[in-house]
Every structure is written in structure tokens, then in C-alpha cells.
Amino acid sequence: MPLLDRIKDPRDLRDLSRAELDQLAGEIRAFLVSNVSRTGGHLGPNLGVVELTIALHRVFDSPHDPFVFDTGHQSYVHKILTGRQDDFPTLRQLGGLSGYPCRAESEHDWVESSHASSSLSWAEGMAKGFRLQESSRRVIAVIGDGALTGGMAWEAVNNIAVQRDLPLIMIANDNGRSYTPTVGGLASHLTALRTDKRYEQGLDFLKRSISGTPLVGRAAYEWLHGVKIGLKDVLAPQGLFADLGMKYVGPIDGHDLGALERALQQAKGFGGPVIVHVITEKGRGFKAAEENEEDRFHSIGQIDEITGEPLSSSSKESWTDVFSTELVDIGRERPDVVAVTAAMLYPTGLHRFAAAFPDRTFDVGIAEQHALTSAAGLSATGLHPVVGLYSTFLNRAFDQLLMDVALHKESVTLVLDRAGITGTDGPSHNGMWDSSILSMVPGLWLTAPRDGTRLREALRRAVEIEGAPSVIRYSKDKMPADIEAVRHLDGVDVLSESERPEVLVVAHGQFAGMGMEVGERLSQQGIGVTVVDPLWALPVNPALIELARAHQLVITLEDSGLVGGLGSRLSQELRANDVWVPLREFAIRQEFLDPGSRSEVLEDLGLTSQQVARYAVEFVARATDQSVAGTSERSEH
């Protein structure tokens, strides 16, 4: 019987021998590869923390001692060890296991992380709370070297370091990478701690001096590792964490269970805030991941579990690809265009620009706030920065967009990938907040292109916009076929129209295709329908107001949050212009949505052509009934 079958609770780890623990680590890796290759998910990060998570669960007492996983994408091993093995076939699916810690799943999950760099603030607050209530609990925060590049982590360290009796253990899981290698001064500092020559020379000396002693085999090994920790205190500079006032233990080989457990025991004994610096390897144990230079299988779709090759490779270009190649072309024509990424060079497609123009590409780490204000600075010198972010991570940088970019009238283009429903990554990763917060920003231009041609045009237009932020948002979904306009009307594309203007469908971005389907369904029912794409949602195009005036019902379709989206802004403008035609917005409800495939989530939200068309047909039928009733009432009088 595999050992893994016996682990239903972290306490089941306690009686295992060292050999059994090593065997268990191997079984967990095989389990991860076999399951995540079928469901997709964060394989590389989890392969790297197998031993670390086992050691944490043996040394600390979860859930009494809360574990806070930064970002949370590396919590699969924790899930496996806390009774959720059987749920892995449902990972990131509707009704299934979440890809992040989830309070509803287990008492072992205290914080539903997913946006990076927040773990230390959570842990500091919890540790303070426990201390105040004289609890014996300790809080353990596991934070990656990438997440440590986020400013919020340093706001927390600044507070933690001066609370000498704070029961907080910070595990710096240093695999040297975010997606690509982690950048910046902190990454260099961690590398310096890892590779300090004096430390290595000291170790060599000790290795030589124990040969010939009665210590052999495991005993010598154990002794050496024990000394290594103490030696570090004596020989190596402990760096800025220690300078700030935190105890530093490390660096520890994060794949050596014995060394890990000793270091964690030592940290547990300190009684105050301590950092344990653990060196791990992203993707460890799966050759295809270890050899993948792009991201070590950070986040994968379905793959072959032996070769690591993707199972469904679509020949179609993605939205990201179209943006990626067009920006390179623009970069050739416009030497003032520069690119900024927050540690997501490949996922945002900026890698091509970086390859063509390395000096004009800036990876700032997981630091969206800095990315925006630094872009404002670049713009102030006459350059035009294009900042590539996932839509959900823009939330972090709202104030910087408002006060630094918009108020200063800087020319910055934001390109928001993964806008709208992403689905499987759960509530935190749907790109459903950007429109709401962007609609508040004075002067901002916002578009969601409907297809590849419109994306190229929008990007070229956006980098020409001077003195205001411009934003392009697009979906994780596949790139649809181009939809040509039947005519252009003052900046609005008319996609289809009929003789009787009854229903106006304003379909934005990826939902233009749905708008066309709604149009067809309504036409089949004999309802006169006009389908338009406004191209730019902000500023609201006055041509839309005139179009609305000519119809009996306006329907807006958008893959974005209901509040502050195209529909709600258009509705406000109609009222402001005394146009009282009914308007119904079809957009994403402001709720935290459970994981599921994109199509399942959209269906649940009522965002399908069938459901939209049904609404319109019923509306028109009601309106007709009322007008017939009105006519007969009038004729009876």
C-alpha cells in the first residue's frame, strides 16, 4: 500500500521514519504530476515545496499554528497532507477543489491567498492577535522570492522586525524564480546569502576536519548539517533581515528533510520573529519542468504526464500573441515606446518585445504599484510606456493609476490580459474589477477589441493617445474570427442592422460574437435589431446616445463587472441627455464567483446568447402587449 494512502491528517506524518518520509516525498511528486497533468494547475511551484511542506507539518501543529501561503498557488502539497487527496481529480473545476487555500475546504486553510505579497501582513496581524490573547499559537508564513519583491511584503517586514516577541516564522522559499528568474536588488541579496564564499570555505574546512573522526555516515551528515546552521550564524553575513532585527536561519537545502526539520525546530525555539531561508528548485523531479526555461511549468494546462507536452495545442493565435507581435512592430517604428512587466514577461506576451528591445523593456518584479508610477516617470521623460498586466492585478495599482498617471496627464498604455471571466483560477482571478475602477478615472480611454484586427488597431491608437492613460482589455479565451463592420458611424462599428430599429445590442470586446448571435436569434423572431460595437467604451461615444434614442430597448453585453462597466456608464449618459429608453446591462454580477470553466461560469451568470435573446424577446412581447392594451383601453373610452 503506498504510504500516501495512509496520510489523512498531518499527525499521520509524525511516526514515519526518515526513509519513509523520503519515499512519501517521491509519492507526492508522482501524485502531483499524474493529477495536475490532467487538470492543469500550478505544477512547478508545488513540485518545489514537497519536502518543505512535509517538514512544516511535522514541526508545527496545523491548524493550531496557522500556515499562510503567499499567493497560495503552492498549497497543493498542504492540501494533500490535510485530507484532500481524493479531491484532486476535481482541481479548479466547478464544485471541485480550489487551486488556492480555501476556508470552506479545510480548517487548515486560514487565508485564501492568491494575489502575491500579502502573507506577511496576514501573519503579522494574526501573530499580534494571538499574542494579545495570550495564545500559544505561532503563525507560519511561506513566501516565495518572487512575492518578496512586492512592496506590501516590506511594509510587513518593517512592522514585524521591531516586535521582538512576535510568534511569527517567515519561510522564504527561494527558488530563484518568479515565472522567469526573480529580478532586482532583493533577488541579488538572496543569491549573495546563498552563495557567500566564506560560508562555503567554512563548510569545506569542517568537511575535512570530520573525516577521520568516529562520526560516519548519517551521524556525520547530521552533525555537518547541524553545524552548518550554527556556522552560518558565525561566518556568513546574515543580511538585511538580521540587520532589521529578525533572526535569520539558513540557507537551508529545501529538499533535505533532515536539514529542514532541524532549521524549523531551531526557528520554533526562538520565540520571536525569525526568517528561515530555504533553497528549493521549481519543478523538481519532473524533467520537462526542470528543463523548461520559460517558467518551470509555473501554471500549465493539460499535458502529457511523461513528456510534459501540452495535450491541446491550438493553432489559433491567442489575444496575447496578437498583442505581443504587434507591439514589436510598433516598437520598430516608434523608438519612444517602452514596455513594463510586473514579473510576467511571457504570460503577458512582452517577451517578444524584450527580445527585440532589451534596453526598452523593464521587469519590475511583482510590483504593480511601482510599475504604474515608474511608467508615469518614463512618460514624464517623453517615452510612451506600455504596461502589461493581468486585469485582476491592476487592483493593486489603482491609486498609482489615478494620482500618478491620470492626474499628471501622463501618456501610459495599460494592456490588461485575462480580462473578464477566466474561470478555473477562482474568484480572485476573474478580470471583473478593471472596468469598475477604470470608469472613475478622469480622462481615461478604455477599449475592449472584438477581434485580432481590432486589437492591432486599438494598440496603434492607444500609443498615440497623449496626456491621458489608455487601456486595452482582452480575454484569456481563444481569439475569435474577425467580424467586419457593415458600416462605421462616428467611431461606432455597426455590425448588423435591420429595417425596423427595435432593439439596439451594444456588444463590447469578446462579446461581439455573442451580440451577433443575439441579433440572429431576434431577427428569426421577427424583431428588428441593430448590433453595434462601440470600440472605445470610455469616453462614452455620443453616437451611441443617438442610436439608443432611435430604439425601444438597449442591451449592453460586456465581459466585465456590472458596476461601472460600459452598460452602466452608457445608462448614466443616456439619463444625462434625457434619453429614457430602457437599458438592460448583461455583465458580470459583483460576486466572488466559484471556480469553473469559462463557459460554465458564463452560463451561470446568464451571459449566453440564448439567455440574452430570451430576455429581449420577452421584453418586446411585454411592450407589444402593453401597447395593445393601451390602444384598446383608449378605444373603449
CB contact set of 512 (below 8 Å; sequence gap of 6+): 450, 451, 480, 483, 495, 531, 533
Question: Is 247 assigned a catalytic role?
Answer: no
Q: How far is CA 556 from the centre of its chain?
A: 27
Q: Is 145 in the site for Mg ion (CB under 5 A)?
A: yes
Q: Name the minimum Å distance from CB 99 to ligand DXP.
A: 7
Q: Name the minimum Å distance from CB 377 to ligand DXP.
A: 26
CB contact set of 484 (below 8 Å; sequence gap of 6+): none
Residue from 343, 516, 557, 607 touching ligand TPP (CB under 6 A): that is 343
Single out the residue of 94, 100, 91, 79 nearest to residue 34, CA to CA. 91
Q: Name the minimum Å distance from CB 280 to ligand DXP.
A: 17
Tell whether the torsion through CA atoms of 90, 94, 100 and 105 is positive or negative.
negative
* Only segment of 260-268, 421-429, 531-539, 589-597 that touches ligand DXP (CB under 6 A): 421-429
Q: Which CB atom, from 55 or from 142, has the smaller least distance to ligand DXP?
A: 142
In angstroms, the CA 470 to CA 474 distance is 14
Taking CA 484 as the corner, what is the angle to CA 482 and CA 486, rounded to the nearest 5 degrees?
165
Q: Which CB atom, from 341 or from 609, has the smaller least distance to ligand DXP?
A: 341
3-state helix, strand, coil in the chain (%, to 5): 45, 15, 40
Grid look-up 475569435 returns 480
Which triple of cell numbers denotes residue 182?
526573480
425 binds, among Mg ion, ligand DXP, ligand TPP, none (CB under 5 to 8 A by kind): ligand DXP
3-state SS, residue 578: coil
Grid look-up 454580477 returns 589
Q: Is 78 in the site for ligand DXP (CB under 6 A)?
A: no
Q: Is 366 in the site for ligand TPP (CB under 6 A)?
A: yes
Residue from 40, 144, 254, 449 touching Mg ion (CB under 5 A): that is 144
Phi, psi angles (nearest 5°) of residue 238: -90, -5
Residue type, position 536, single letter: W
44 is in an annotated binding site: no
Kindly provide the b/e burial profile for residues 586-605, where b requires at least 16 CB atoms within 10 angstroms of the residue's own CB. bbbeeeebbbbebebbbeeb
Residue from 10, 40, 41, 146 touching ligand TPP (CB under 6 A): that is 146
Q: Is 396 in the site for ligand TPP (CB under 6 A)?
A: yes
Q: Name the minimum Å distance from CB 340 to ligand TPP.
A: 13
User: What is the DSSP code string of 326-351?
Assistant: HHHHHHHH-TTEEEEESS-TTTTTTH
323 is in an annotated binding site: no
147 is in an annotated binding site: yes
Q: Among 124, 368, 517, 558, which one carries the catalytic annotation?
A: 368
Q: Is 410 in the site for ligand DXP (CB under 6 A)?
A: no
Q: Which CB atom, from 317 or from 336, has the smaller least distance to ligand DXP?
A: 317
Which residues between 153 and 172 bind ligand TPP (CB under 6 A)? none
CB contact set of 51 (below 8 Å; sequence gap of 6+): 25, 254, 255, 256, 257, 260
* Only segment of 29-37, 321-329, 422-430, 458-466 that touches ligand DXP (CB under 6 A): 422-430
Residue from 44, 146, 513, 534 touching Mg ion (CB under 5 A): that is 146
Residue from 29, 78, 255, 282 touching ligand TPP (CB under 6 A): that is 282
Question: Is 368 assigned a catalytic role?
Answer: yes
Site string for ligand DXP, 327-366 (x = CB under 6 A): --------------------x-------------------
DSSP state of 591: S
Q: Is 364 in the site for ligand TPP (CB under 6 A)?
A: no
Q: Among 262, 360, 396, 476, which one carries the catalytic annotation?
A: 396
78 is in an annotated binding site: no
Grid look-up 523608438 returns 335
Residue pair 67/78 in contact (Cβ under 8 Å)? The answer is yes
Q: Is 561 in the site for Mg ion (CB under 5 A)?
A: no
Q: Is 425 in the site for ligand DXP (CB under 6 A)?
A: yes
In angstroms, the CA 451 to CA 479 distance is 7
How many C-beta atoms surround the C-beta of residue 270 within 10 A? 13
Kindly provide the b/e burial profile for residues 340-350, where b requires at least 16 CB atoms within 10 angstroms of the residue's own CB. bbbbbbbbbbb
418 binds, among Mg ion, ligand TPP, ligand DXP, none (CB under 5 to 8 A by kind): ligand DXP
Using omega within 30 degrees of 0 as the cis cutoff, is the peptide bond preceding 358 cis?
no
Residue from 23, 90, 106, 299 touching ligand DXP (CB under 6 A): that is 299
In angstroms, the CA 427 to CA 365 distance is 24
Q: Name the minimum Å distance from CB 476 to ligand DXP.
A: 6
Helices (H) and strands (E) in the chain, counts: 23, 18
Q: Among 138, 282, 418, 521, which one carries the catalytic annotation?
A: 282
Residue type, position 171, single letter: I
Site string for Mg ion, 172-201 (x = CB under 5 A): ---x-x------------------------
Question: Is 282 assigned a catalytic role?
Answer: yes
146 is in an annotated binding site: yes
Site string for ligand TPP, 63-102 (x = CB under 6 A): --------x-xx----------------------------
Which class for 307: exposed (0-12), middle (13-18), buried (19 or more C-beta within 10 A)?
exposed
Which residues between 46 and 65 bind ligand TPP (CB under 6 A)? none
Q: Which helix (H) or strand (E) holds 234?
A: helix 217-235
Which residues contact ligand TPP (rule: CB under 6 A)?
45, 71, 73-74, 115-116, 144-147, 173, 175, 177-179, 282, 298, 342-344, 366, 368, 393, 396
Which residues contact Mg ion (rule: CB under 5 A)?
144-146, 175, 177
> Could you give the residue numbers annotated as active site?
282, 368, 396
Residues contributing to the annotated binding site for thiamine diphosphate: 73, 114-116, 146-147, 175, 286, 368
Which residues contact ligand DXP (rule: CB under 6 A)?
71, 73, 298-299, 347, 418, 422, 425, 429, 476
